[in-house]
Structure 1
Amino acid sequence: MSEAQPVVKCLIWDLDNTLWHGTLVEDGHVEVDDVIRKVIVELDARGVLQAVSSRNDHDEAWVRLEELGLAEYFVLPQINWGPKSESVRRIAERLNFALTTIAFIDDLPTERAEVAYHLPDVRCYPAEQAGALLGLPEFSPPVVTVDARRRRQMYRAGFERDQEREQYQGADEEFLRSLDLEMRIGRARDEEITRVEELTLRTSQMNATGVHYSDAALRALLDDERHDVLVVSMSDRFGPHGAVGVMLIEKTPQVWRIKLLATSCRVVSFGAGAVLLRWLTDAAARAGAHLVADFRRTERNRMMEVAYRFAGFTTTDCACLASFAPPEGTECLHLEPVRQDPPTTMRVIAPDPHVRAREVEWR
């Protein structure tokens, strides 16, 4: 699959004569065949989110999905009489997914054309192709992790979190403290590498270089004393967020080089990227090491550049750091670190700076 065809992160289904046989408003009783049911269940197991965009009465259609035992598989249903392109756009925006990772399936050429005209990056499929979706590379993630299999549940918890946030009367910082957030930064274990690779593939807005590290390349670094492969996970009182970040750091006694920093867009609003950089700055200051970071601009990672700049990183030609010169097309950012205070909005458990195999609370 080419770079222009990333893995689909969300498939949006039409209902009438697509997901089920018949038209609900006319036939009154509609059924889903076993092939479509298998596609829905398997895509969910692969970590592909699924939503609905349908011209129907919302309550009637949703009740039928519940009766069919399928309602639980769909997030953000858009069942209304408006343009489907607007429904697709709303779903993508709510999920914070790039339109290039969204797919739409409908039996009517006119509906597919309307979506394609207004949202040309969305991939559109005719209903008769539904049974073949599982065999297409864009619906076949190269790895399926524990987090992928529970992605729908994690997003649902996220929507509940968002709803409570909207209703919260206090300041944002107070709300974050009310969540009992915990961030864990740990050296990657062998069984976590597939999730780390997935993060480098799926994360675009908060990926400092856009570089994909393969499973084999990451595993080769696990026992390398010069490299730390760190996995970042988060949880709160609503449940686990799962693995939300990855850092690859090359170390010498004098210089730490951040070769990869990527975090999920789902935790941007919690300040996860800033917390990671603050922790790393503090750890480097404790070790007396200079910090340098690889950064390569992509079409979507402006937020990551802002995070680096806000943390105090500036551009350098790395003339005095020849062994850390970044690959062609990549900028070298640097920072002379000073001690940092831990955040007040979350508890951070991270590697002990003195004992490699131990994790301690950042204080």
Structure 2
Amino acid sequence: MPLEVFAVRKINWQPKADNIEAILRGMNLLPKSVLFIDDNPVERAAVKAAFPDIRVLGPNPYLWRRILLWAPETQVAAITTESAARTEMVQKQVERETQRKKLSREDFLASLEVTARLGEIASTVDGRFARALELINKTNQFNTTGKRWTQQEFAAFFREGGRCFVLDVADRFTAYGIVGVLLVAGNQIAQFVMSCRVVGMDVEIAAVAGVLQAMTARGAREIHASLVHTSANLLCRDLWERCGFLPAGAEQYQRIADPPLAAPAHIAFRLDPAPQPALSAAE
């Protein structure tokens, strides 16, 4: 494998556990989402001791290829455009985060030239649905409820009037594609998930601003949002308060529609018109 196919490279004399810690922190990854491969039992033991949730593979290198090809964790129903471009996106994320260290937060955000577009999916036959389903079922850290969905559950959700919004983001480094999904049921934002690739750019605020605009266009005046604490979703615990919501009981927040929430000034934001639903046979 050529060196260029690796998204992040750490080649030094530091302990491997230290390098892994730096990669996890820089990429916003959880240890349980990582596989460590090494033929040295001492290295495997050291990494496992530092990160008990990390998965390790060894000692027989002749089995690695078979395990990686056939393990349940590596099987997917489909490969979306965003997944196919993941290595390039992570490489650009590293480049972006390197730039962050050289500038103030305000100057850094202004330099990104961020564009964000919020669109709505009306059914499971929409071409963007596969990515939405993938994202909502693999996102742990920025996931306001932790709920996983089946395609059948989504079909029922659409039949009952649920709305699914998808967030598409780009900056001067790369086009990230669809990185966020927001589900709305009536006057409730039932769930919001977002890829860690765009954490720290404030695009989540633009997404919520767009959803609030779409909801108020249909008459919503008091809007509610759910937040269920999980062991992994620390990244989004303050989301609703940052968007002007107030606590309203267990796992609930609310805000009134006026004044409207504004997208951050450094983001060129667009809300696409709501589509006409094209329902599948199941819907």
The normalised TM-score by structure 2 is 0.86
Residue 240 of structure 2 corresponds to which residue in structure 1? 308
Q: 1-side partners of 2:262 and 2:253: how far apart?
A: 22
Partner SS for 1:334: strand
Say whether the 8 Å CA contact 1:177–1:345 is kept in structure 2: yes
Partner of residue 232 from structure 1, selected from 160, 167, 172: 167
Partner SS for 1:303: helix
Partner of residue 348 from structure 1, selected from 263, 269, 273: 269
What 5-or-longer segments of structure 1 have no aligned partner? 1-68, 318-329, 358-363
- Structure with the bigger RCO (C-alpha within 8 Å, sep 6+) is 2
Partner of residue 112 from structure 1, selected from 44, 47, 52: 44
Residue 202 of structure 2 corresponds to which residue in structure 1? 271
C-alpha displacement of 1:345: 0.7
Residue 14 of structure 2 corresponds to which residue in structure 1? 82
Q: 2-side partners of 1:175 and 1:78: how far apart?
A: 25
Say whether the 8 Å CA contact 2:114–2:268 is kept in structure 1: yes
The equivalences for 1:109-258 within 5 A come to: 109-126=41-58, 127-132=61-66, 133-168=68-103, 171-188=104-121, 190-222=126-158, 224=159, 226-251=161-186, 256-258=187-189
Change (3 A) 1:261 1:79: same
Partner SS for 1:344: coil
Q: 1-side partners of 2:77 and 2:24: how far apart?
A: 22
C-alpha displacement of 1:145: 1.0
Q: Which moved more, 1:115-124 or 1:76-85?
A: 76-85
Say whether the 8 Å CA contact 1:208–1:304 is kept in structure 2: yes
Q: 1-side partners of 2:242 and 2:173: how far apart?
A: 30
Change (3 A) 1:194 1:302: same
Say whether the 8 Å CA contact 1:179–1:237 is kept in structure 2: yes
Which of structure 1's runs of 4+ aligned residues deviate more than 6 A?
none
Partner SS for 1:167: coil
Say whether the 8 Å CA contact 1:228–1:248 is kept in structure 2: yes
The root-mean-square deviation of aligned C-alpha atoms, in Å, is: 2.1
Q: 2-side partners of 1:142 and 1:93: how far apart?
A: 29
Q: 1-side partners of 2:46 and 2:262: how far apart?
A: 52
Q: 2-side partners of 1:264 and 1:152: how far apart?
A: 14
C-alpha displacement of 1:128: 3.6
Partner SS for 2:244: coil
C-alpha displacement of 1:292: 1.2
2:144 is matched by which residue type in structure 1? A
Q: 1-side partners of 2:215 and 2:130: how far apart?
A: 27
Q: Percent identity?
A: 28
2:254 is matched by which residue type in structure 1? H
Change (3 A) 1:265 1:70: same
2:143 is matched by which residue type in structure 1? N
C-alpha displacement of 1:219: 4.2
Q: 2-side partners of 1:296 and 1:271: how far apart?
A: 21
Partner SS for 2:231: coil
Q: 1-side partners of 2:102 and 2:216: how far apart?
A: 40
What is the aligned length? Answer: 268
Say whether the 8 Å CA contact 1:193–1:218 is kept in structure 2: no
1:270 is matched by which residue type in structure 2? M
After superposition, what is the alpha-carbon deviation per residue over 1:137-170, rounded to whole angstroms, capped at 9, x for unaligned? Answer: 12224442111011001111222222233334xx
Residue 333 of structure 1 corresponds to which residue in structure 2? 253
Q: 2-side partners of 1:279 and 1:80: how far apart?
A: 45
